[in-house]
């Protein structure tokens, strides 16, 4: 895709006058919150808090150009990440535990969020990357029209845990150009033990299917920078707890063998993981290589090839 041919999906949606209806429908979900698969039924409009602990205003921990993301997002000038506070999945091993569980961050106005997007674009970032956006879908929609009016034009990245409802994702059709979900667990047992979300595998499959329906396989411009499409992350866990073999088979057979996938090696014990837990150690080099082999055997043809961390053997 050439740079001249690209127009962010949200620009067209804004021009068509579709934002007011989307915003209204999204905030209506807050009255008895069913925004995510937790379906807590709290009234976030009146300040009640559910599992995610998020309120009615967006909360941001930090925002800046980020160079640790996948190569198609980082490009030359970085991915413009906005780290949102709290999380609806709340994995016990979260590597951003202070944000997701402890609520590190502060409330910002919709106008301030719009200006954050513009500041990141003005710094040369190739995209605006919302990290853990699931519980803030209405707020993101509310902030976007002002950002567009200010001149926002780069792609938006939806960087989620994969624990997203299809109904909420449909409100984002024509808004996000790039979806970057995790596929954390293929089996309900570990998902329940470490996230209290036994339905995670089913939810993630449905969510990723909807994301791919909206944006298709990842498309890069002539510089190798992502413009539109799906990018899936999968964190390899010790003792095969993530179900890597099932994850990669699903992506290759049910989504597309051309799905861009980052098989991630950087798991380390943190958060609320006890030393004697199966997750109380890093993965070995052998476990990681086995995961890569499974992905290739399943038929996946686009694996992220960033230099991986040095792994400790046990």
pLDDT in tens, 207-225: 999 999 999 999 999 999 9
Q: How confident is the model at residue 310 (pLDDT cuts 50, 70, 90)?
A: very low
Structure tokens at 293: 């082999």
Q: Which residue has the tokens 């570990």?
A: 190
Is 2 a member of any domain?
no
pLDDT for the residue numbered 1: 55
CATH number of the domain enclosing 217? 3.20.20.70
Output the average pLDDT for the chain.
94
The answer to whether position 190 is within a domain reads yes
E strand segments, the chain? 59-66, 79-84, 106-107, 128-131, 156-160, 178-181, 219-220, 226-235, 260-264, 302-303
User: How many distinct structural domains can be found in the chain?
Assistant: 1
Contacts of residues 20-24 at CB distance under 8 Å and 24 or more positions apart, as own/partner, are 22/141, 22/171, 22/175, 23/138, 23/141, 23/142
| 262 touches 233 (CB < 8 A) | yes
Residue 311 domain-assigned? no
Residue 178 corresponds to which tokens in the numbers above? 């790039």
pLDDT at position 274, please? 82
pLDDT digits (tens, 9 = 90+) for 22-69: 999 999 999 999 999 999 999 999 999 999 999 999 999 999 999 999
Task: Give domain status of residue 120, yes or no.
Answer: yes
Residue corresponding to tokens 């996938």: 261
Model confidence band, residue 314 (pLDDT cutoffs 50, 70, 90):
very low
Whether residue 50 contacts residue 42, with contact meaning beta carbons closer than 8 Å, is answered with yes
Burial class for 16, CB neighbours closer than 10 Å (0-12, 13-18, 19+): exposed
The model's pTM: 0.95
Comparing CA positions, the residue from 67, 42, 89 lying closest to residue 204 is 89
Q: How far is CA 198 from CA 185, 201, 203, in A?
A: 10, 8, 10
CA-wise closest residue to 59 among 132, 147, 7, 150: 132
Give residue-wise pLDDT tens across range 85-94. Answer: 999 999 999 9
Is residue 310 situated within a structural domain?
A: no
Name the percent of the chain lying above pLDDT 90: 89
CA distance 22 to 24: 5
- Give the mean pLDDT of 13-27: 98
Do the domain assignments include residue 314? no
Q: pLDDT band for position 80 (50/70/90)?
A: very high
> Is residue 4 domain-resident?
no
Whether 309 shows a pLDDT value over 70: the answer reads: no
Q: Which domain holds residue 181?
A: 9-49+58-303
**More reliable by pLDDT, 242 or 306:** 242
* 224 within a domain of the structure (yes/no): yes
Instruction: Report residue 47 as tokens.
Output: 């300040």
Please report, to the nearest 10 degrees, the dihedral formed by the alpha carbons of residues 182, 308, 250, 135 taken in order: 0
**Cα–Cα dist 63/60, whole Å:** 8
Q: Are 185 and 163 in contact (CB under 8 A)?
A: no
What is the DSSP code (8-state) at residue 303? E
The confidence band for 170, taking pLDDT boundaries of 50, 70 and 90, is: very high
């Amino acid at each position: 895709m050439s740079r001249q041919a690209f127009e962010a999906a949200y620009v067209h949606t804004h021009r068509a006058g579709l934002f007011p209806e989307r915003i209204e429908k999204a905030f209506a979900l807050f009255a008895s919150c069913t925004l995510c698969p937790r379906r807590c039924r709290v009234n976030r409009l009146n300040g009640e808090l559910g599992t995610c602990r998020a309120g009615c205003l967006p909360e941001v921990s930090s925002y800046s150009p980020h160079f640790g993301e996948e190569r198609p997002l980082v490009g030359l000038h970085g991915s413009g990440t906005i780290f949102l506070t709290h999380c609806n999945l709340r994995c016990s091993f979260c590597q951003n535990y202070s944000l997701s569980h402890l609520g590190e961050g502060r409330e910002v106005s919709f106008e301030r969020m719009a200006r954050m997007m513009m500041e990141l674009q003005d710094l040369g970032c190739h995209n605006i990357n919302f990290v853990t956006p699931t519980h803030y879908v209405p707020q993101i929609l509310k902030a976007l029209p002002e950002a567009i009016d200010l001149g926002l034009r780069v792609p938006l990245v939806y960087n989620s845990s994969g624990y997203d409802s299809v109904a909420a994702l449909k409100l984002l059709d024509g808004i996000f150009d790039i979806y970057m979900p995790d596929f954390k667990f293929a089996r309900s047992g570990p998902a329940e033990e470490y996230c209290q979300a036994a339905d995670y595998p089913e939810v993630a499959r449905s969510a990723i299917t909807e994301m791919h329906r909206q944006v298709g396989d990842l498309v890069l411009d002539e510089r190798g920078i992502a413009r539109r499409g799906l990018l899936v992350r999968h964190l390899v866990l010790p003792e095969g707890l993530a179900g890597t073999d099932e994850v990669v088979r699903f992506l290759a057979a049910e989504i597309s063998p051309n799905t861009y996938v980052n098989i991630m090696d950087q798991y380390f014990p943190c958060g609320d993981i006890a030393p004697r837990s199966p997750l109380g150690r890093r993965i070995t080099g052998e476990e990681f290589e086995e995961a890569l082999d499974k992905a290739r055997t399943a038929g996946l043809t686009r694996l992220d090839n960033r230099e991986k961390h040095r792994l400790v053997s046990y």
